[in-house]
């Protein structure tokens, strides 16, 4: 696939990024304010045909003189949010605009082909990632503590990756093991997990470097992993990679997983490292950032229409000496040219999720200075299609672990009377699958203590990772695990009516508000209420509408509730849970889910009538 640049221009003291890609990609005009018009890009493409022909003619004359090349191209291949998807994801998560995409064995082949194309042109190549490579993974990887995914990424030639929030799902001590290797004494299958199942081949850890520039040990200046890495290419050319996760990570992971760590501002962190890298002779700087944005058109994976979200402000405030941002976290595909602080365009990309896209960047390096020529720096998001031969080594690795996990994964635990139970919410943000999970938690006997049985259950919507799928109505443990892959523990606790009111308002305020896109409505059982979208934050729950067990909520009454340990610690912006008392830890959420499906076989989805909208 050809990737073509466009004529040079200078804006301020830095060169501008010119993006023009062919094949499935679209041409991008220089963006102003983060918006790229495909129609405008097409016009830009049309006007360059003559210029390109003229350049070709000039190139012929120049070749006769054989001048020394002024530029070199370095290929940068990037992925993000792989989440242990060794096999292609299913449903809407398994395609890009209707094209089946993803799968580690296909991804490995595409990476090899892209590198071969670059090497054929004499270009060096490096492969990097922007976080969440592991965590929230399907059972095939999660059953072995994501060791299979790290092994697969080693085989793909990954060299550096920022940490993401899901790298902390099993805690930072376990993340260190992902880097350095070694086996866990997990009792050969405790909690449906088994580290190092092949005793003859213990886990060796990641061959790639995890980077964590903004993750510090508390009260120290020491980072969890190196803040940056420098890749030296032929002729001594250097590219520096700064790796970071989002500052908000502690609010979206289990508290115990990041205890003892501090997460700092992304912009302040990266800007402070620019002079450090420049002192080491690095002029070309790329940020690998696990934070992202949302294009207005999520299908426009190779352009940047109306992009919004944290990445816009972060880009606007990063040092102009930073040449490109490889982003992630939002699971979106985009290929942007956004203005930096000096109003010069800068490359900002993201490769969707689950290994469905790979970003192919060609950094154009000025040989005389070692800096990036943004005019001739190119990018293309390529779909990881499944029409190529699977990489044999990766396919063999997957087959090995599939055989090991099969007895657990393929066990039928129940049936459903519909093809699937969906997590898609209605207007009130209540979903059929959310109701099922909340019902399962409320019915779990492991959280009953001292004769006190929970009467209300709360489930965070972000913890529901997929629809509950079936095969001819059969639901396997593997399908259930795909829905709830975190192995969270259920926790019962006491909350007063006043505390529950505060909890419900936190769905629409703090980090969960005040704007609708931030709302995070908990999925519930045992409780009903009405909320008013037009009301102000802090007053959205309609007064007098809350009922528990059909009876009006009483402020001074104490109610026994159940949730998972992530929410219990105040995760997802719900500090009200931290004020609860008499907490008791029960079993795993996935076990409660599986047991409920078995006890209610076959299961028919219930109406979404627990939460309503009104005034």
| Whether residue 118 sits in one domain with residue 263 | yes
Decide if 220 contacts 250 (C-beta within 8 A): no
Within a domain: 133: yes
Residue ranges of the chain with per-residue pLDDT less than 50: 1-63
Q: Let me know if 511 is exposed, middle or buried by CB neighbors in 10 A (0-12, 13-18, 19+).
A: middle
Assess whether 28 and 93 both reside in one domain: yes
Q: Kindly state the tokens that stand for 467.
A: 């629809």
- Model pLDDT, residue 375: 86
pLDDT the model gives residue 19: 35
pLDDT score for 315: 98
Q: Is 282 found in the same domain as 163?
A: yes
Kindly state the tokens that stand for 157.
């030639």
Q: DSSP characters for 293-360?
A: -B-SSTT-TTS-TT-BSHHHHHHHHS-TT--EEEE-SS--EEEEEEE-TTS-EEEEEEE-STTSEEEE
Please give the pLDDT value at position 7. 33
**Same domain, yes or no: 236 and 344:** yes
CA distances from 191 to 86, 168, 319, 530 (A): 21, 18, 46, 38
pLDDT at 56 (0 to 100): 45
Tokens of 194: 């088994």
Strands 160-162 and 124-129: parallel
Phi, psi torsion values for 285, nearest 5 degrees: -125, 130
Token pair of 184, please?
A: 């866990």
477: CATH: 3.90.780.10
Burial (CB count <10 Å: 0-12, 13-18, 19+), residue 275 = exposed
Within this chain, do residues 230 and 171 fall inside the same structural domain, yes or no?
A: yes
What CATH number does residue 215 fall under? 3.60.21.10
Report how many domains make up the chain: 2
Same domain, 357 and 415: no
Q: How many helices (H) and strands (E) does the chain have?
A: 14, 33
> What is the enclosing helix (H) or strand (E) of 7?
none
Query: Which domain, by its residues, includes 456?
Result: 411-613
Q: How confident is the model at residue 187, as a pLDDT?
A: 65
Q: In this predicted structure, what is the pLDDT of residue 221?
A: 93
CA distance 501 to 531: 12
Same domain flag for 23 and 122: yes
Name the nearest CA neighbour of 291 among 275, 270, 277.
270
Q: Is the residue at 497 inside a domain?
A: yes
Residues 418 and 354 in one domain: no
Distance of CA 54 to the CA centre of its chain: 44
Does residue 103 fall inside a structural domain? yes
Rounded-to-10 torsion of CA 155, 156, 158, 164: -100
Same domain, 312 and 415: no
Other C-beta atoms within 10 Å of 221: how many?
6
In a domain, 191, yes or no: no
Quick check: helix, strand or coil at residue 224? Answer: coil
Q: Please report whether residue 2 resides in a domain.
A: no
Tell me the C-alpha distance between 270 and 434, whole Å: 39
Give the strand pairing for 71-79 and 95-96. unpaired
pLDDT in tens, 517-568: 999 999 999 999 999 999 999 999 999 999 999 999 999 999 999 999 899 9
Alpha helices in 189-265 (DSSP H): none
């Amino acid at each position: 696939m050809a990737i073509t640049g466009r004529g040079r221009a200078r804006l301020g003291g830095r060169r501008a990024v010119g993006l023009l890609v062919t094949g499935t990609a679209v041409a991008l005009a220089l963006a102003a304010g983060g918006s790229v018009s495909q129609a405008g890009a097409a016009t830009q493409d049309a006007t360059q045909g003559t210029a390109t022909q003229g350049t070709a003619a000039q190139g012929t004359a120049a070749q006769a003189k054989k001048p020394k090349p002024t530029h070199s191209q370095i290929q940068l291949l990037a992925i993000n949010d792989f989440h242990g998807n060794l096999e292609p994801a299913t449903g809407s998560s398994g395609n890009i605009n209707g094209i089946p995409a993803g799968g580690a064995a296909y991804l490995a082949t595409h990476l090899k082909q892209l590198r071969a194309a670059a090497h054929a042109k004499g270009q060096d190549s490096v492969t990097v990632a922007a976080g969440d490579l592991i965590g929230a993974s399907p059972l095939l990887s999660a059953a072995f503590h994501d060791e299979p995914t790290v092994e697969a990424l080693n085989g793909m030639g990954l060299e550096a990756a920022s940490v993401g929030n899901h790298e902390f799902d099993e805690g930072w001590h376990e993340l260190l093991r992902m880097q350095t290797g070694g086996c866990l004494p997990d009792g050969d299958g405790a909690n449906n997990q088994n580290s190092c199942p092949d005793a003859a081949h213990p886990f060796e850890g990641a061959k790639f470097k995890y980077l964590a520039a903004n993750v510090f040990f508390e009260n120290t200046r020491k980072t969890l992993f190196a803040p940056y890495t420098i890749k030296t290419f032929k002729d001594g050319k250097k590219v520096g990679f700064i790796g970071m996760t989002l500052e908000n990570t502690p609010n979206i992971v289990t508290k115990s997983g990041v205890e003892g760590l501090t997460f700092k501002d992304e912009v302040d962190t990266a800007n402070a490292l620019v002079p450090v890298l420049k002192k080491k002779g690095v002029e070309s700087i790329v940020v690998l950032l696990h934070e992202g944005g949302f294009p207005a058109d999520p299908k426009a994976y190779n352009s940047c229409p109306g992009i919004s979200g944290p990445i816009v402000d972060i880009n606007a405030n990063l040092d102009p000496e930073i040449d490109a941002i490889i982003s992630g976290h939002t699971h979106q595909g985009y290929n942007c040219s956004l203005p930096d602080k000096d109003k010069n365009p800068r490359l900002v990309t993201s490769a969707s999720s689950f290994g469905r896209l790979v970003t192919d960047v060609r950094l154009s390096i000025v040989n005389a200075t070692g800096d990036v020529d943004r005019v001739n720096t190119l990018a293309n998001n390529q779909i990881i299609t499944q029409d190529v031969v699977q990489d044999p080594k990766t396919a063999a690795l997957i087959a090995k672990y599939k055989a090991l996990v099969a007895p657990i994964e393929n066990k039928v635990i129940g049936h459903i009377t519909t093809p699937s139970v969906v997590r898609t919410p209605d207007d009130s943000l209540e979903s059929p699958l959310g109701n099922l999970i909340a019902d399962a938690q409320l019915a779990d006997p492991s959280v009953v203590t001292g004769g006190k049985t929970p009467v209300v259950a709360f489930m965070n919507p972000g913890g529901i990772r997929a629809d509950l799928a079936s095969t001819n109505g059969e639901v396997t443990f593997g399908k259930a695990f795909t829905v709830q892959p975190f192995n969270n523990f259920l926790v019962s606790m006491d909350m007063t009516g006043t505390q529950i009111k505060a909890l419900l308002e936190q769905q629409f305020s703090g980090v969960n508000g005040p704007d609708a896109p931030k709302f995070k409505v908990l999925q519930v059982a045992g409780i009903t209420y009405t909320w008013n979208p037009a009301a102000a934050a802090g007053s959205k729950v309609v007064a007098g509408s809350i009922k528990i067990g059909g009876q009006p909520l009483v402020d001074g009454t104490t109610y026994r509730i159940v949730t998972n340990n992530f929410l219990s610690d105040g995760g997802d912006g719900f500090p009200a849970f931290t004020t609860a008392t008499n907490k008791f830890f029960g079993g795993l959420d996935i076990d409660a889910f599986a047991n409920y499906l078995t006890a209610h076989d076959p299961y028919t989805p219930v109406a979404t009538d627990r939460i309503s909208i009104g005034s």
